[in-house]
Structures are given as structure tokens and as C-alpha cells.
């Protein structure tokens, strides 16, 4: 490859690469999670807990009025609990998130998340995440019945006709 390349080459250990990656990731995450949210206009705010290496992180993901997903916040805790979620939501408000504009909050059905939303945001519209609801319903069924029930749930939820969708879900529940 030539003497000049060989003279300039060097070896980098795995540990050095790892430290550099962790350092840069930490910087970028810190910048992302401390930026102002004053100019963000949301149609929806989704909250959920995710498990990462035995830790539970409560994540706030916004959907802008233009339909763009925006990571808003991430708060580390041992479980998906009210205290952690109150800290996360309070941080969003302190960073300028305006919920007075009319934001739909989407949750997985967790009472802790709902309680935190009520405490920090007050009376805002809250919707149960249909994917979480679907998962909860399907877990109670035998494997053989899951594909058909899943298809019927999704068909009803996708319907533009409320009465027809409600009839389909009522019939499904009665079966």
C-alpha cells in the first residue's frame, strides 16, 4: 500500500473503540434529551416502558402534526412506574412541550402511566394502544385461534364505520 500509508497506520483496541462509541453516544443522547421542545407541535404522544439489559426505560415518542415521529424523552427506572413517568413528563414540560395545543396520549393500558399523565398533564385525551390491546387479547387464546381473531380485530379497528366496527367487535367478544 506504500510507505506513507504504512507509516501512518495504527492499531485501535476493542476497548478504545468501545469507550469512544459509549462517549459519543452519551453526548448525542444527552443533547437529544435536553433540547428545547418549544417548537414541537404534536398530534400524539406515545408512552411505553421498554426493557434494556434488565432495566426498564420509559420512553416518550411524539408524532408531529405532519406525521413525523420525534423521540422526546427516555427515563431510566427499575420498573414502568408512576414516579419514573412523572419525572419524564415533567422534564418534557420543563423543556417547553406544549400540551395545551391538544395532544392525544397513547398508552399501553398501564395504570401507572395513566396516573402519571393525569398528574402532570391533567385532563387530556388518552387512547389505549391497539397493538398492546391486541397482544393482550391474543395471549388469552389458543394458538390456533389467534390468526383469525387478529384479522377480525384489525378489520374492525381499520373500519371507517363506527357502528359496523362496534358490531364486529361485539360479535367477536360474544364468541
For 111-123, what is each residue's pLDDT tens digit? 888 999 999 998 8
pLDDT of 69 over the 90 cut: yes
Percentage of residues in the chain having pLDDT higher than 70: 98
| 3-state secondary structure (DSSP) of residue 39 | coil
What pLDDT score was predicted for residue 2? 75
Beta strand 55-64 pairing with 69-77: antiparallel
In which residue are the cell numbers 385461534 written?
145
DSSP string for 67-130: S-EEEEEEEEESSS-HHHHHHHHHHHHHTT---TTT-EEEE-S-HHHHHHHHHHH-S--EEE-H
Percentage of residues in the chain having pLDDT higher than 90: 34
Tell me how far apart the alpha carbons of residues 45 and 43 are, in angstroms, rounded to a whole number: 7
Tell me how far apart the alpha carbons of residues 97 and 73 are, in angstroms, rounded to a whole number: 11
Query: What predicted TM-score, i.e. pTM, was given to this entire model?
Result: 0.72
What pLDDT score was predicted for residue 12? 72
Amino acid at each position: 500500500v506504500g510507505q506513507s500509508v504504512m507509516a501512518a497506520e495504527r492499531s485501535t483496541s476493542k476497548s478504545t473503540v468501545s469507550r469512544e462509541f459509549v462517549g459519543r453516544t452519551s453526548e448525542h443522547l444527552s443533547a437529544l434529551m435536553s433540547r428545547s421542545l418549544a417548537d414541537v407541535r404534536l398530534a400524539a404522544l406515545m408512552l411505553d416502558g421498554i426493557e434494556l439489559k434488565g432495566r426498564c426505560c420509559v420512553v416518550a415518542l411524539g408524532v408531529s402534526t405532519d406525521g413525523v415521529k420525534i423521540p422526546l424523552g427516555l427515563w431510566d427506572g427499575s420498573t414502568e412506574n408512576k414516579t419514573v413517568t412523572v419525572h419524564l413528563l415533567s422534564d418534557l414540560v420543563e423543556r417547553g412541550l406544549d400540551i395545551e395545543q391538544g395532544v392525544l396520549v397513547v398508552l399501553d393500558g398501564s395504570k401507572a402511566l395513566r396516573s402519571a399523565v393525569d398528574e402532570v398533564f391533567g385532563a387530556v385525551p388518552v387512547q389505549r394502544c391497539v397493538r398492546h390491546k391486541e397482544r393482550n387479547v391474543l395471549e388469552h387464546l389458543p394458538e390456533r385461534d389467534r390468526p383469525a381473531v387478529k384479522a377480525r380485530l384489525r378489520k374492525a379497528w381499520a373500519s371507517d364505520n363506527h357502528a359496523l366496527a362496534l358490531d364486529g367487535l361485539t360479535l367477536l367478544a360474544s364468541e
